[in-house]
Structure 1
Amino acid sequence: MFGKIVERGTLLTVTVLIVCVLGIVAALRIPVQMIPDLDLRVIGVRTTWPGATPQDVEKEILIEQEEYLRNLPNLSRITTTARSGSAEVELEFPFGTDVTQMLIRVNNALSQVPSYPENVDEPRIYANSFSSNFFMFFSAETLPGNPRQLNMDMMLDFIEDNVKPRIAAVPGISEVAVFGGTERQVQVLVDPARLAQRGLTLVDVRDAIRQRNRDRSGGTIESGKRQYLLRTIGRFEDLREINELIVARRGDTVIRLSDVAQVRLHHFEKRGVTTFNGAPNLFVTMRREPGSNVIDIKRRMTVEIAAINREVLQPAGMHLLPISDDVRYVQASVRNVWQNLILGALLATAVMYLFLRSLRATLVGVMGIPICVIVAFLGLLLGGRTINVISLAGIAFAIGMTLDNSIVVLESIELERRRGASRLQAAISGVQQVWPAVFASTMTTILVFVPVAFVAQEAGQLYSDVAIAISAAILASMLVAVTVLPAAAARLDFGSPAAGGGANSPSGRHRARHATLALVQGLLATRTRRAACIGVTALLSALVIWQLTPAAEYLPEGEEPKVFASMNAPPGYNLAAMEKIMDEIKGYFLPHVDTDPALYDRGDSAVPAISYMNLRAGPDQLRVIAEPVRPGDIEPLMDAITAKFREFPGMRAFAARGSIITSNDGGTRSINLDIAGADLATLYDVALAAYRRAGEVFDRPRIQSQPSSLSLAQPMV
């Protein structure tokens, strides 16, 4: 068999070229992203009820929903959260659950809830994993100088209607979200005195508006041979129609809405404020579709954003500015892995040359590296995987392994040549002698990595790319070693080492070999020496393991130089108070945006240079997302933000670095403590005690709680 393969070099060359072309095409077609896609197994339900207290939200919404949701099959955990104006339910399912089917079941369960109080919005169901989080961020703000004198709080509907659909239409985008601002609202400000004078109530006004503000179908009217659809148009088109609405009739007198109320176009109650580098803005962000190429998305998005600015926003006095995106981290990470991969290949080539002591033999051996790398990309495509930092790391790991088979085969062929066999016979005989060992070694390595692909947890989903890449590369290395290398060796003369007395000359190599053998024989000469050798080796191994074993964690964080900080307010704070605090925070940190990092190094600045700062304030929390100019200044920036937050009495500060693999609140390095019980007051007391104790036990801990205040002192009337 091997004789026919070696003799048919042309057919073998064509086959290898076809595989390489397919692999290159696969490498160009595989999506590029930061980390592998993770399976969804958490479903969330969010229901809003403007103005409702947490107690009413729990009683009227959460208890009703939980009664039906807790009966879902395979439900592992259900977590409910009641906040002012909103309710959230988090449903966790085992790994491998068909989330599409569960979304249908969740929707069916929610449809069984008999009713909700008036003004409660329909529940929103969503399912996400960290790998599909928002990855591009833009700031919608006014043009410099605000020539149109725009109030960005009122621009939410404009952005939702004119910008969001165009961004959502970009291929690869699955969701676009806009944060900040408030929706437009028609407000009817009723005068109680005029209402009482006319003997009307608020219910009368409400019912009149409801009855009028709708279109009705009245069936059909037949006239001769024609049939006409009857439709009554009643929906309001402008404020004038609302003002002229007839609320009641008193004989020949009509009472219009303008007689008892003032109608104005305003906006919903403002529940938050956002700024970017101090300027009021709306925060526009987006998610990608699973399996999409983030680099292609960014390229398309750059073109689309330029068109949106030119055609839509600039005529309206606004523009979209890029804040940050994960694509640059993807590109930098992929570039670093490629550099390491090339460096590893060069080092492996150097080691192989030192072992084979022949430049031609080394070139024959290392030509399998690009072939195996290309086949690894083909394996990733066939396995439905992506190019990411983890899959590329797997390819880099495989480089050294791919050379093992080549070295074994080439050494066997070289040995046959030294025995006097011809190049063709040496190639055939050499591979025939070692191919069973090469096959066994390859299968052993593959069997080590294959089980990783069947691990259902996050670790298995992340590192299955490594298993696929290494398995494909190792399998390709075996095929290259037993086919391509013998065919090349049969046609190339590896030559003989040059004569001379240097370290690489035959005499120098013989001396080194004899010295090594003498040392080994001396260590193994007596039973005492053998025992001592074993003991010293075991002791040194244990010492190295003890001293150099890194800290253990479930998953690496893959930290990125971003600060995600929050300041949680005590119960009773309102948005106006938090806006004042936000103004003070801006006044302190904005002077450090786009400054020279050397100022911090010289001690002329207490805060490292900041690339950008995004702030978002609500009645109970202030959030900061910031990035230092230099990645190495991330820890000082976190400390500076936390220290500033703690200057405000009663506030709780928390800050964490961004992560490319897990969440931005500590990820797998965090310790989560769940406290459950029947009495809410006792729960809060225990949680507060645990919070304070954690601050004493740990060194410089970053602690946050849910809810943030751990207090039941919310003022009520």
Structure 2
Amino acid sequence: MISNLISWSLRNRFIVIVGVIALSIWGFYSMQQTPIDAIPDLSENQVIVYTEWMGRSPQIMEDQVTFPLVTNLQGLPKVKDVRAASMFGMSFIYVIFEDNVDIYWARTRVMERLNSAQRSLPEGVTPTLGPDGTGVGHIFWYTLDAPGYDLGELRALQDWYVKFALQNVQGVSEVASYGGFQKQYQISIDPNRINYYQLSLMDVLNTVKNNNNDVGGRIFEMNGTGYIVRGLGYIQSIADIENMTIATKNSIPIRVKDIGTVQMGGEARLGITEENGTGEVVGGIVVMRYGENADAVIKNVKEKMKEVEKGLPKGVKFKIAYDRSELIESSINSLKNTMTEEIILVCIIIIIFLFHFSSSLVVMLNIPIAILLGFIAIKNFGITSNIMSLSGIAIAIGVIVDDGIVMVENAYRHLTEEGDDNHA
């Protein structure tokens, strides 16, 4: 079969040359389209289900949240394993799918099963899916450099402006905020006062919840004109909460300020985020979507940050804490230089030892053609251009050269023998 293939190639040289050129062009296109990253993604094909029920112990989370969800998710198709972890107020479930399963098909199946599992959960508990990222999806970290600004103001700026803007970048799955204080209205209730008025904590909670809402009414017609009636009830200030009426005793309204105090504060924190010993900072983590080009996503995020920075308050600017593109570019450039040096060195050695330009050219052409054909396989198998894959290509250059030299020497020997026979 090999002899027939060689004979056919010799008889149809033009077709072979055109085919090699076409494959080389395809390989070059695949090389340009292959996602670039510094490290290979070895994480499992998983979907994370996150459930929050604050104030509950790990045992309650396990019995009332984690166990019902795990039993419902175990029957999904193409699932290898379901793992779970329960902690104080939170539940995490990791649904591990087979490697050949499309991640978005898997997320759809999990979401369908969560809709039916919702009935077995306590009231007000809603499970949510984690971001469609991977274990190496944290590609970019930044902080807000703003001397003199309050940490609560910076966290509000990050959550309500910067985060939403960067999430619109193509390839970004999530922008996770960290550091600072999350602003909230806090009601400190005096137990003696609430007992005196014979009220409960649920009375206060329901009052605040029901009064923080806009409601709609009907259309009021007057002089041939229709007016839309609606009630504006969203909280605008601390005074709005203080003046909410909880109950009425002897025609006297009992307001929130009568049983406690209201203040603006920050959510309780379990830790802080500090940068290089200079104090607390506020920032965000850009999580890349599954299967995206890390280098291209980081470049798009940096371009978007330039636009976002124009709308930041005076004195606030971005400061990069971690940028994987630096590692990507340095790794790729190092490997490119190494491969270039290898190719040049191999070509010089081939010319010196064979001392036959045509034969050396055949061997040297095998190197770039084989590399381009390798990128076709890399692109179609969904492998990124990273340190491991490019190092494999660099190591394989020696094998490519060995094969070419063996074939050239064998052909040269046969041609020499045939020439000696004809001469004789």
* TM-score, length of structure 2 as denominator length: 0.81
Shift of 1:280: 0.2
Q: C-alpha separation between the residues in 2 aligned to 1:116 and 1:416?
A: 79
Equivalent residue, structure 2, for 1:304 = 304
Distance 1:187 1:214 in 2: 18
1:360-439 equivalent positions in 2, closer than 5 A: 360-415=358-413, 417-419=415-417
Matched AA of 1:303: E
Query: In 1, are the aligned partners of 2:131 and 2:173 still within 8 Å (CA)?
Result: no
Q: Within 5 A, what are the aligned runs for 1:673-684?
A: none
Within 1, Cα distance between the matches of 2:309 and 2:410?
Answer: 67
Q: Is the 8 A contact 1:195 1:260 kept in 2?
A: yes
Partner residue of 1:85? 89
Structure-1 residue corresponding to 2:32: 28
1:241-262 deviation per Cα after TM superposition (whole angstroms, max 9, x unaligned):
2222222334553333233332
2:45 is the counterpart of 1:41: yes
Aligned-partner Cα distance in 2 for 1:297–1:73: 32
- The Cα shift of 1:101 comes to 3.9
Residue by residue, what CA displacement relative to the aligned partner does 1:532-552 show, whole Å, maximum 9, x if unpaired? xxxxxxxxxxxxxxxxxxxxx
Contact 1:42 1:129 (C-alpha < 8 Å) held by counterparts: no
Secondary structure at 2:274's aligned position in 1? strand
1:402 Cα shift? 3.0
Look up the match of 1:334. Answer: 332
Structure 2 equivalent of residue 281 of structure 1: 281
Structure 2 equivalent of residue 320 of structure 1: 318
Kept in 2, the 8 Å contact 1:139–1:283? The answer is yes
Change over 3 Å in CA distance of 1:360–1:104 after alignment to 2: closer
Counterpart in 1 of 2:5? none
Give the Cα separation in 2 of the matches to 1:379 and 1:176.
33
Which structure would you say has the larger Rg? 1
**CA RMSD of superposed structures (Å):** 3.5
2:139 matched to 1:135? Answer: yes
- Name the counterpart of 1:124: 128
- SS at the partner of 2:130? strand
Q: Deviations over 1:11-59 (max 9, x none)?
A: 8766655554444343223221124555753232222233333233334
- The residue aligned with 1:169 is 168
Query: 1:194-593 maps to which residues of 2 (within 5 A)?
Result: 194-218=193-217, 231-250=230-249, 252-278=251-277, 279-312=279-312, 315=314, 317-353=315-351, 355-415=353-413, 417-419=415-417
Task: Report how far residue 5 of structure 1 moved.
Answer: 3.8
State the one-letter code of the partner of 2:119: P
Bigger mean CA offset, 57-66 vs 282-291: 57-66
Identical aligned residues as a percent: 23
Distance (whole Å) between structure 1 residues aligned to residue 265 and residue 125 of structure 2: 20
Q: Deviations over 1:287-329 (max 9, x none)?
A: 22334332233333333334434531x52x5433212232222
Q: Which position in structure 1 is the counterpart of 2:62?
A: 58
**330-339 vs 198-207, greater mean Cα deviation:** 198-207
Q: 1:289 to 1:57 in 2, by over 3 A?
A: closer
Distance 1:102 1:229, change over 3 A: farther
The answer to whether the 8 Å contact 1:181/1:270 transfers is no
**Cα distance change on mapping 1:231 and 1:57 into 2, 3 Å:** same
Q: CA deviation at 1:160?
A: 1.0
Tell me, yes or no, if the aligned pair for 2:133 and 2:288 is still in contact at 8 Å.
Answer: no
What TM-score do you get using the length of structure 1 for normalisation? 0.51
Asked if the contact 1:173/1:289 (under 8 Å) is kept, the reply is: yes
Distance 1:114 1:346 in 2: 67
Instruction: Rate the CA distance shift 1:3–1:46 in 2: closer, same or farther, 3 A.
Output: closer
Q: Which has the higher contact order (CA 8 A, sep 6+)?
A: 2
The 5-angstrom pairing of residues 182-193 of structure 1 reads: 182-193=181-192
Q: CA deviation at 1:389?
A: 2.2
Which digits, 9 at most, give the CA deviation of each residue in 1:124-165, with x for residues without a partner?
A: 22266755421212223432xx2x4x2x25532320111112
Kindly state the Cα deviation for residue 269 of structure 1 after the two structures are TM-superposed.
1.6
Is the contact made by 2:133 and 2:289 (CA closer than 8 Å) also made in structure 1? no
Cα–Cα, structure 1 residues 74 and 219, in superposed 2: closer, same or farther, change >3 Å? farther
**Shift of residue 371 of structure 1?**
2.6
Q: Partners of 1:241 and 1:124 in 2: how far apart?
A: 32
Mapped partners of 2:203, 2:380: distance in 1? 67
Displacement of 1:349 in angstroms is 3.0
Q: Secondary structure at the match of 1:89?
A: strand
Q: How far 1:237 sits from its partner (Å)?
A: 2.6
Structure 1 residue 275: deviation in Å? 0.6
Q: Which consecutive residues of structure 1, in runs of 5 or more, have no partner in the other structure?
A: 426-717
Q: Distance in 1 between matches of 2:105 and 2:20?
A: 44
Q: Which whole-Å CA distance do the structure 1 matches of 2:415 and 2:67 have between them? A: 82
Cα drift, residue 189 of structure 1: 2.0
Instruction: Look up the equivalent residue of 1:161 and give its one-letter code.
Output: W
The 1:303–1:16 alpha-carbon spacing in structure 2 relative to 1, beyond 3 Å, is: same
Shift of 1:85: 2.6
Q: Closer, same or farther in 2 for the Cα pair 1:76/1:333, shift >3 Å?
A: same
1:153, 1:180 within 8 Å by CA — same for their partners in 2?
no
Which one of the candidate residues 100, 104, 114 is aligned to 2:108?
Answer: 104
* Code of the aligned partner of 2:164: P
Q: Is the 8 A contact 2:139 2:288 kept in 1?
A: yes
